[in-house]
Amino acid sequence: MRKLAAAALAFSAAVFLANFILPSERLIGLAALSALFGTALALLRRRWLRPAVIALLFFAVGLLEYAAFSRLTIDRARMFAGETREITGVVLEYPDDYAGYCRLRVRTDMPDMPRFKAIVYDNRKVFADAEPGQRIRFTAKISTADTIFGKPYDNYLINGYYWKMSIKGDESFGKYSFTPGSIPIRLHRLLCDRVDKIFPAESRAFLKALMLGDKQEFYEDDALYVTMSRAGLMHVAAVSGLHISFLVGFLLLLFGNGRRGALFSIVLIWCFVLVTGCGKSALRAAFMQTLLLLAPIVRRENDPVTSLSAVLALILAACPFAAGSVSLQLSFAAMAGILCFAQSIRAWLLKPLPEKLRHGAAAYVPDVIASSLSVMVFTVPLTALHFSYVPLLAVFSNLLCLWAVSFCFCLAWAACLLSCVPLLGTAAVWICTLLVRYILFCAGVIASHPYAVLYMETHGALLWMAASYALLLPGFLLRGRRVLRVLLPGCVSLALLAAVISYNERSYRERDWFSVLDVGQGQCVAVMAGEDTVVIDCGNTSNLDDAGELAGRYLIACGRRDIGLLILTHLHEDHADGVVRLMEMVPVKTLILPAQGEEVSEICDTILACAARHGTELMEIDSDTRADCGRIALSLFDVPPGGKDDMHSLMARASVGDTDLLVTGDATLKQERAVADRADLSGTEFLIAGHHGSKNAASEELLREAGGSTALISVGYNSYGHPTPETLSRLAEYGYTVRRTDEEGTIEIALEKNHG
C-alpha cells in the first residue's frame, strides 16, 4: 500500500510543479532525467532504494502526462483562436441568464475541429431557454479559455472547457436528443425547484448551497456571503467531503459499520453525487470516501494516506489542469491536516477529562475543536493565498454550527422526500428552517466581531503567518512536553497577531491619505483623515473580484470600522455595483447620490434597500452642496444630464487640510466645462481623470481651472482603449503627472498633517 502512496504522491507532485512552476518546454527533458535517475537506482538492486525508484519513475510519468495532456487540449484549441466560423454542438447544462447576456456550456461536434467543450456567450439571449441535450447552430468568434479579462485563468480548463465563443451571426435551434449525461443536470434542476417550492425564501439560498452545491443565489445574496465568509463557514456552502461525511455517518448509523453498511453507503453516495449534478468537488469527495469504505468490503486494513494520495493521482491523471483548482487544493489540504494532527489534538484535549466523558455526546466539543484546528493547519495558508483573508474565529463557528449543519443537511433531504406527506414533510421543513435561522444567527454574531477576519492587505499579516508556522509546526512534530511544544508557541502567535493588528490600526490612524483602489475597470476612491473615512464610488466591470469586497478588505485592513460618507457620482455599474457588498462589510453612516427622480434603476433600488436595512441615512443631491465628515470637507457639484444618453451625476472635491482631490465621475467634456465655469476649482492638486481616461473626459477648461499636478486614472482591462491617447496628451500638455491603477495597483497618497 505504501508503494502505491509513493507512486501517487510523486505523480501528483510532478503535475503540481508542471502546473505552477516548471516551464512547459522543459517538461519532457525533466521527465527523461527523472526516469534516468530512477532506472540507475533500480539497477543497484537495493531494497531500501525501492521507494525512491518508484517516486522518480512516477514523477517522470506525471511530467509526461501534463505535457501530453496540454498538447492534446489547450495547444490544439489555440490553433483555432481568432477564427470566426459556423459551429454546431450540444448544450450540456441549462444556460446562465444574466442582465445583458446568457452563457451556455456546449460540446462542439464539428468534423474539422476537436470535440471540445466551450463556454458560449449569447448577447442576444436567443438560447436563453435551451435545455441540456439540445443541438444548436451558430456563428461565433473563437478564443481560448485560458485567459479572462486579459489575465491567465484556469477555472474553465479545470472543468474541461478549452474554448470561449462569442456569437456573432445568425443562431438556430436544432432538434433535441436525449443524452445520458443530461440526467444529473435535470435531476439537479428538479431538486432546486423542489427546494424553492417547499422552503421559505429566507433559507433557500443557504439550503441549495448546502444540499446541492448550487451557489448562484448564495453569491448573489451579499449579506449571506459576507456573513458566512467572515464567520469561516464557507466550507458548508459547497458539496464536499464534509457533506459526504454527514451522509456516510447517517447511513452507517442506520446500517451499521460492517460490510453491509459500507456497501449501502457507497451506492447511496454515488446516487447523491448524481442528483447534485456530478460537480467536481462532489466527485472528489465521493472517490475519497469510496476508497475509505472499500477496506471493510475487501477485508483489507484501511490506509487513509494511501487512499487520499491515490484519489488525488486519479483526479490529476484524468485532468492535470485540476491541480489549479482551489477547491481541490483545500479539500486535500483539509484531509491531510485531519490525518496528520486530528487524533493527537483530540487525545490531548480528552486527556484531562474523566473516562466516562471521553465518548459520545460529551466528546463533541473536543472532536470539533480537534477537527477544526487540524483542518486549518494546511488550509489557512491556501485561504490567505487565494482569498486574501483568514477567518480567525472559525473554530468557534464550527463549534456552534457544525452539529446544526449536519442535522440541517439530513433534514433538508428528508423534507424533500417527505414533502408529499403533509404532516411529516411540513414538520421537517419547519425544523430545518429553524436550524437555518440558528446557523445564520450564530454566523452573524461571529461575523460582526471586528476581529473575526484578518485580511492579508494588513501590514505584517504575512510576517505573522510565517512566524506562527515557524513556531507551531516544530511543536507538533517534535517530542516532549506538549505545553511547551504547542501551547506556548500558540500564545506567542496570538500575542504577535494582537501586536500586528494594533500596530497596523495605529499607524493608519496617525496619517491622512487618499487612496485610489485597484478595482479593475471601475472606480473606488477612499479619503481618510484620522478616524474619518469617505468613500467615493465603488464598482467595476471586466473583473473577477467584486469591487465592494476589494474595498471592504482594504478599509478593514486599514482599521476602518465604519464609513462616514459614501458618495456615488452616478449609478453605472462600474461605479456602483460593489456598493451593497461594501455596505455589508463596513457600516455606512450616510449615503449620498444624485437625485433619481421618478424612475429608479434596478441597481439603485438594490442599493436603497440595503441602506434602509442597515439604517443608513440617505441624501439625494440635486444642487451644489457642502458636506463634512470630521476633518474631511466635501464640495459636491450637481451635474444634470447633458443629453438623452447622459445620467444625472455628481462631481466631488474632497479637501483634507490644504490638499484637494477632485473626482469627476463620468462627466462629459461639456459637463466638466459647466462645473468649471461656475465653481472655484483652483488649487486642486489631485485629479481623478473622468471615465477611466476616456477621450470625452479631462477637458482643457477643467484642467486649466484646477491647475493640478497629478492625475490619477482608475482603469483596468477594457475594450474601449482607456485611457485614450487624446486624454493622456491633454494631461501632459497641462503639466499633469499621470499615475494608473492598471500599472501600479492601488495608489496611496500620504498627506502632510499641517492642519488642526
pLDDT tens-digit readout, 343-355: 788 787 777 777 7
- pLDDT score at 508: 76
Q: What digits encode the pLDDT tens for the residues 665-713?
A: 999 999 999 999 999 999 999 999 999 999 998 999 999 999 999 999 9
Residue 299 has pLDDT above 70, yes or no: no
**C-alpha angle with apex 662: 718 to 688, nearest 5 degrees?**
20
Distances (CA, A) of 335 to 1, 108, 312, 327, 586: 18, 37, 11, 12, 34
Q: Using one digit for the tens of pLDDT, what is the confidence trace for 559-612?
A: 888 999 999 999 999 999 999 999 999 999 999 999 887 666 788 999 999 999
756 pLDDT more than 50 = no
Contact 756, 658 (CB under 8 A): no
Rounded distance between C-alpha atoms, residue 558 and residue 505, angstroms: 6
Mean pLDDT within 266-279 = 75
Task: Read off the pLDDT of each residue in 183-187 and give the average, rounded to a whole number.
Answer: 83
Residue bearing the bigger pLDDT, 534 or 1: 534
Contact 239, 405 (CB under 8 A): no
Residue 221: count of CB within 10 angstroms of its CB = 18
Q: What is the mean pLDDT of residues 719-739?
A: 94
Residues 6+ apart with CB under 8 A from 559: 504, 505, 506, 508, 509
What is the side-by-side order of every strand in the sheet holding 686-688? 625-629, 632-639, 649-656, 659-663, 686-688, 710-713, 737-740
> C-alpha cell of 325?
483548482
pLDDT of 755 strictly over 50:
no
Percent of the chain's residues with pLDDT above 90: 53
| For range 232-244, the mean pLDDT | 75
CB 156 within 8 A of CB 143: no
Residue 169 predicted with pLDDT over 90: no
Candidate ranges 255-269, 303-317, 377-391; pick with highest mean pLDDT: 377-391
Asked if 654 and 660 count as a contact pair (C-beta separation under 8 A), the reply is: yes
Q: CA of 250: how far to CAs of 246, 264, 335, 413, 466, in Å?
A: 6, 11, 20, 12, 39
Asked if CATH classification 1.10.132.20 holds for the domain at 79-178, the reply, yes or no, is: no
- DSSP-assigned states of every residue in 231-284: HT-GGGGS-SHHHHHHHHHHHHHHH-SSHHHHHHHHHHHHHHHHHTT--HHHHH
Look over the chain and give the mean of its residue pLDDT values, rounded to a whole number: 87
pLDDT at residue number 417: 85
CA gap 435, 445 in Å, rounded: 15
Residue 510's pLDDT band, with cuts at 50, 70 and 90, is confident
Reported as a single tens digit per residue, the pLDDT across 630-676 is 999 999 999 988 666 667 899 999 999 889 999 999 999 999 999 99
- The SS3 assignment for 167 reads strand
- As given in the structure block, the three cell numbers for residue 250 are 447517517
Question: The C-alpha cell of 551 is what?
Answer: 474595498
pLDDT band, residue 340 (cuts 50/70/90): confident
pLDDT exceeds cutoff 70 at 237: yes
Structure-model confidence comparison of residues 20 and 170, the more confident one? 20
Residue 458 predicted with pLDDT over 80: no
Residue 681: phi, psi to the nearest 5? -105, 5
Range of lowest pLDDT (138-152, 178-192, 541-555, 606-620): 178-192
CB atoms within 10 A of CB 124: 11
The answer to whether 707 touches 683, Cβ cutoff 8 Å, is yes
Cell of 453: 477576519
**Domain spanning 512-751 has what CATH number?**
3.60.15.10
Using an 8 Å Cβ cutoff, are 658 and 646 in contact? no
* pLDDT higher than 80, residue 139: yes
Q: What is the pTM of this model?
A: 0.89
How confident is residue 485, by pLDDT bands cut at 50, 70 and 90?
low
Residue 38: what pLDDT? 93
Distance from C-alpha of 620 to C-alpha of 635, rounded to nearest angstrom:
14
Q: Distance between terminal CA atoms of the chain? A: 72
Q: Say yes or no to pLDDT of 521 above 90.
A: yes
How does residue 249 score in pLDDT terms, banded at 50, 70 and 90? low
Contact 636, 627 (CB under 8 A): yes
